[in-house]
Amino acid sequence: MKAKLRFKITILFIAVALLPILFGGLLILNRAQENQLHHIRIMQLDFIQRATEVIQNNINHQFDDFEQIPVSDLSSENKTVDFEEKRKKVLNQLLKINNALLEVSFVNNQGLQEVKLSKHQVISKEDLVNFNQDPRYPQMLNNPRQLFFSFDLSNRPVFTLSLKLYDQRRQFQGLLLAQIDPQLHKVVEKIKVGITGEAYIVSKEGLVVAHKNPRFTQQKQDFSQFCPVQNFIGGHVDSDSAECRYKNYAGIEALGAFLPILYTSSVEENTQSVTLLAAVTEWPTSEALQIVTTLQNLIVGILIAAAVLSVVAGILLSLQIVNPIEKLQQGAKLIGGGQLDYRIDIKSGDEIEDLGSSFNTMAENLRLEFQRQQQTTRLLLRRDIELREINEELEKEKQQIVAERNKLAIVLSGVTDAVIAVDLHRQILIFNKAAENLTGYSAYEVVGQEIEQVIKIYDENGQISPINYCPIQPVGLEGSTFAKKELKIMGKEEKESFANVWAGQIKEGQTANIGCILTLHDVTAEQQLEIMKLDFVSMAAHELRSPLTSIRGYLSVLIEEVQEKLTVEQKSFLNRINIATIQLVALVENLLNVSRIERGILTVNLEVSDWLDLVRQSVADFADRAKEKSLSLQFIEPIQPAPKVLADKLRIGEVLSNLLSNAINYTQAGGQITVSLAQKDQDVITHIKDTGQGIPQDAIPYLFTKFFRVSGSLERGSKGTGLGLYIAKSIIDLHHGKIWVNSEEGRGSTFSFSLPVVEDSIDKIAKLG
């Protein structure tokens, strides 16, 4: 502990002492470096600017000398005998007096070189060229003064000057071309950059044009990889190029800068600027930033001295702080070992002495607290014995609960119906074996999951929400909360089943965290059997329809053709056969309609109809049958005009025919059948009342189900299939109406059905889609 604390104090002193010095030193060093770099930038650009001015002045001087030559001495219009010699003499004189001039020639206004003289070689007429093929010729024609840079055959840098010549009438006479040695090496030698710095000139391709080392010039050394030359080639001409740092050709880190060497001419308001070369200066960083390096070394020395002083001060101060802390540490160990009577004596006269006093107070409080803890421990031991006894009793009760739960699990596993119990958040608690078979999930997969994520329940109107089939009722209620038959269950991987669903709640649900208990009785096999029955009925009906149609056709032809040849008894036989065939066709049609209803494909073609005419016609159609049975069939027409309805005339005619036929069949001779209309709200109600045998009250709830026949005397009175009323109810439902019956046994029955009037029918159809 001692070493760590002393180390931390020493580090703290070093940090406190050095950080301001370090920050201030870095600030001063950075400011000094910026000032030095700024000074270097100014110096380097000044060097380059002077070199640029020397080169440009030299070029302008050359152009000024050429302009002094009389144009008449060179013009092709001069046809004197000694013109050729005179022209050569003028150019030769120019070569002699101008040391920088290497080659001079005259090109006439047709672009043909007429005269050419050189200091280093003899020029013959075969050496004269046609400048129309020279790519530089258009530039020479466009500018009065034009300057080009190139290397000659000896890799020597040269400038080519082009001067346009005009006569006194300002007629263009030709071009004066001169090739001069700019003597750039002399310019470079005059530039002094510090003590060891140097300057050189490069072309736009990065090739060395002038350098203090002639070898670089002779070999046209490529310096394009160095930073200032790259800036020149890339077109960067800002002043910040002086801050470019890089390693030069000798591997020495240097500060480099460049400045383009421009030639600017202005003749008769025609100004042009041409970038020819670039002057580059290099200054070794060690020399250029010598002042900054010296300042840096000074700051480092100050930092080292401050660090040494901080270490010494930190050690001395840590001794005064650590010794009392060691006493505190020793006392803490003794008290921690159980010597609660130990006290420490610190006389430092500062906060550490106060800390020692607080330590002694703490030790006294610990001694008193230890005594209280001993008493509390004895009490806790007695309570622990009591708690162990209670835990033993709870363990026994737990084992009993587990046994009961296991018995319940065994019972549920043997139940054939699926049982699912969910908590108050509708998360599955119990999922028996039958539920696994029904849904395809295992209990391991679904326990703890929300029931809506496991199964989905659908009725004829769509999916049922768990809020509806598994409601969480208020506390204290128990019993059934939901019950519905033949619901579709979607399980794992879209497994489809059908079940009768019952949901219940127990009174202790809130305490036991049981929201509801679902029981699902699997009726998938019954549904499949029902589908098979429908398929069989549909197939049988379709197969019977064709031969029955043939029988009816042939039978009607036979009756017409042989009726006069038959005896009364034979005619009776044929009539009975015809009636039986008609009844069989009606039975087939009923079976087909039942199949369509069950499959949901029975449709109606609704159209605006005069309901009064439809009812009147149906009653008229059954008048003969009623008369044959000695029955009174009467249609009581309404006083007010009956409103129009939306109806399928064919289908609604079947309903009227079925109800009228039943009334005739189940009413004894001498009875009365009455048909009447009434309007209630937005519905037209049709009543068919008879004075027949009536219907038992226990049979009325099943009267409109398929294949239901009333037993007893009514069953003996007719041999129907039990499908007529079922089909009639389905047709009325498709018309968005209702059908019902009021009957009293022995006093007759009244069958009634309602149809919405036209406006209300449209609204109902729109709402129901």
| Total number of domains constituting the chain | 5
- H helices of 666-723, in order, are 713-717
pLDDT mean over 610-631? 88
Do both 381 and 472 map to the same domain? no
Which residues constitute the domain of residue 367?
Answer: 352-414
Indicate the pairing of strand 672-680 with strand 683-690. antiparallel
The DSSP call for residue 234 is: T
For residue 639, what pLDDT band results from cuts at 50, 70 and 90? confident
CB half-sphere exposure, 518, CA atoms < 13 A: 32
At residue 241, the pLDDT reads 46
pLDDT exceeds cutoff 80 at 289? no
Do both 513 and 662 map to the same domain? no
Task: Give kind and range of the element (H or E) at residue 636.
Answer: strand 632-636
Please name the amino acid found at residue 447. Answer: V
Please indicate, yes or no, if residue 236 is contained in any of the structural domains.
Answer: no
pLDDT mean over 633-661? 87
Burial of 13 (0-12, 13-18, 19+ CB in 10 A): buried
Burial of 560 (0-12, 13-18, 19+ CB in 10 A): exposed
Do both 617 and 702 map to the same domain? yes
At residue 689, the pLDDT reads 93
Give the pair of three-digit tokens for residue 718: 């007719």
The DSSP call for residue 440 is: S
Please name the amino acid found at residue 569. Answer: E
CB atoms within 10 A of CB 398: 11
Mean pLDDT check: name the lowest of 75-89, 427-441, 693-707: 75-89
Residue finishing a domain among 123, 156, 182: 182
Residue 521's closest CA among 503, 533, 495, 506?
503
CB 366 within 8 A of CB 335: yes
Q: What percent of the chain has pLDDT over 90?
A: 4
Q: What angle do CA 59, 62, 66 make, to 5 degrees?
A: 140
Give the pair of three-digit tokens for residue 378: 């004895």
Q: 756 CB contacts (<8 Å, ≥6 apart)?
A: 645, 646, 682, 683, 684, 735, 736, 737, 764
Do both 358 and 459 map to the same domain? no
Average pLDDT over the chain, rounded to an integer: 76
Please indicate, yes or no, if residue 747 is contained in any of the structural domains.
Answer: yes
The DSSP call for residue 73 is: G
What pLDDT digit, counting tens, does each position of 290-307 carry? 666 776 677 777 767 766
CATH of the domain at 532: 1.10.287.130
Question: Helix 290-336 and helix 2-67: axis angle, to 10°?
Answer: 160
Give the pair of three-digit tokens for residue 145: 């003064």
Dist. CA 246–CA 174, nearest whole Å: 49
Do both 610 and 702 map to the same domain? yes
pLDDT exceeds cutoff 50 at 74? yes
521 vs 71: which has the higher pLDDT: 521
Residue finishing a domain among 458, 486, 520: 520
Please indicate, yes or no, if residue 423 is contained in any of the structural domains.
Answer: yes
Q: 412 CB contacts (<8 Å, ≥6 apart)?
A: 419, 430, 432, 433
Do both 582 and 594 map to the same domain? yes
Please indicate, yes or no, if residue 737 is contained in any of the structural domains.
Answer: yes
What pLDDT digit, counting tens, does each position of 376-413 carry? 888 888 888 888 888 888 887 777 766 666 666 666 55
At residue 739, the pLDDT reads 92
What pLDDT digit, counting tens, does each position of 732-744 carry? 888 889 999 998 8
At residue 34, the pLDDT reads 64
Cα separations in angstroms, 281 against 37, 51, 248, 594, 642: 14, 11, 11, 107, 115
CATH of the domain at 108: 3.30.450.20
Please indicate, yes or no, if residue 47 is contained in any of the structural domains.
Answer: no
CATH of the domain at 667: 3.30.565.10
Cα separations in angstroms, 156 against 153, 216, 233, 298, 505: 7, 11, 21, 50, 110
The DSSP call for residue 112 is: B
For residue 531, what pLDDT band results from cuts at 50, 70 and 90? low
For residue 1, what pLDDT band results from cuts at 50, 70 and 90? very low
Please indicate, yes or no, if residue 707 is contained in any of the structural domains.
Answer: yes
For residue 763, what pLDDT band results from cuts at 50, 70 and 90? low
Please name the amino acid found at residue 55. Answer: I
At residue 81, the pLDDT reads 46
Residue finishing a domain among 157, 182, 207: 182
